[in-house]
């Protein structure tokens, strides 16, 4: 189960970050395809590892989901640290793979903000309170929707189809992604941000550590709140 979380998160971040690279980096085949292309790409990037590994260990691939399901009572608290560790490590490796895959395009891209955006999020309008609200609520919707879907069909989200989670990600991306880019997952933002800081990316900017705590802490709080409310509503 731990290995499936590690491998699944690698797949999620590698595919998701690579979608962003394909749109933002200079000279790619899909350069300039826009935000809709990215939202659809991330929708599938989340669904693919769920399809691959959901039958093994639940296919969390997100510390906020792991915490939320544990608070709800659908996941063993004793496994939480190992799951989160595997997810964070997987996110780092996935980001490194994106850099390796798109390295020539990183080298010819002058836009330093675009290079950073491949790995992690930044707000459209920088406002600590509003950015915190965005990440909290978007993650709350994610985890609460997963819990509700699992109640309706215990194998539907992480069973033989990734379509359930795909629709949730599509809804969040199109409806709630315009403010902070809907990180909703520390393994998808903090781990790749660390990878960005360590990788030998040509002419890169700083990793924006001042903002990094928001897409790290607020998704965790959103997941916990969703799990706690789920325990009241659905149990």
For the record, the structure tokens of 163 come out as 């379509």
**What whole-number distance in Å separates Cα of residue 205 and Cα of residue 88?**
23
Please state the φ and ψ torsions of residue 192, each to the nearest 5 degrees: -65, -30
What does the pLDDT read at residue 203? Answer: 96
Asked if residues 162 and 47 have their Cβ atoms less than 8 Å apart, the reply is: yes
pTM, two decimal places: 0.95
Please state the φ and ψ torsions of residue 25, each to the nearest 5 degrees: -80, 145
If phi over 0 gives left and psi between -120 and 50 gives alpha, with beta otherwise, what is residue 101?
alpha
Under DSSP, the state recorded for 20 is: H
Any residues with CB less than 8 A from the CB of 49 and at least 6 apart, and which? 7, 8, 9, 11, 12, 59, 61, 162
The H-or-E segment that residue 148 falls in is helix 128-152
Distance of CA 130 to the CA centre of its chain: 20
What does the pLDDT read at residue 160? Answer: 46
Asked if residues 40 and 91 have their Cβ atoms less than 8 Å apart, the reply is: no
Any residues with CB less than 8 A from the CB of 142 and at least 6 apart, and which? 62, 64, 65, 168, 169, 172, 184, 222, 223, 226
What does the pLDDT read at residue 154? Answer: 65
For the record, the structure tokens of 49 come out as 């590892």
Q: Print pLDDT tens along the chain (235 aa).
A: 899 999 999 999 999 999 999 999 999 999 999 999 999 999 999 999 999 887 786 789 999 999 999 999 999 999 999 999 999 999 999 999 999 999 999 999 999 999 999 999 999 999 999 999 999 999 999 999 999 988 877 665 544 456 788 999 999 999 999 999 999 999 999 999 999 999 999 999 999 999 999 999 999 999 999 999 999 998 7
């Amino acid at each position: 189960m731990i290995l499936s979380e590690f491998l699944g998160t690698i797949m999620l971040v590698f595919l998701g970050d690579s979608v962003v690279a394909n749109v933002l980096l200079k000279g790619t085949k899909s350069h300039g395809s826009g935000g809709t292309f990215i939202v659809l790409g991330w929708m599938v990037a989340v669904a693919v590892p769920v399809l691959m590994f959901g039958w093994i260990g639940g296919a969390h691939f997100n510390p906020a989901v792991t915490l939320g399901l544990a608070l709800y009572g659908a996941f063993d608290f004793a496994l939480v640290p190992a799951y989160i560790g595997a997810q964070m490590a997987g996110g780092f490796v996935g980001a490194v793979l994106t850099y390796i895959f798109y390295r020539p395009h990183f080298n010819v891209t002058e836009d330093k903000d675009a290079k950073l955006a491949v790995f992690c999020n930044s707000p459209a309008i920088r406002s600590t309170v509003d950015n915190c609200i965005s990440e909290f609520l978007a993650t709350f919707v994610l985890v609460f929707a997963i819990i509700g879907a699992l109640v309706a069909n215990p194998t539907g989200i992480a069973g033989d189809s990734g379509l359930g989670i795909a629709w949730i990600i599509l809804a969040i991306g199109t409806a709630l992604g315009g403010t902070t880019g809907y990180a909703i997952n520390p393994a998808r933002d903090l781990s790749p941000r660390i990878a960005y800081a360590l990788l030998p990316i040509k002419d890169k900017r700083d990793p924006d550590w001042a903002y990094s705590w928001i897409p790290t802490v607020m998704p965790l709080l959103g997941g916990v709140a969703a799990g706690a409310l789920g325990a009241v509503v659905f149990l």
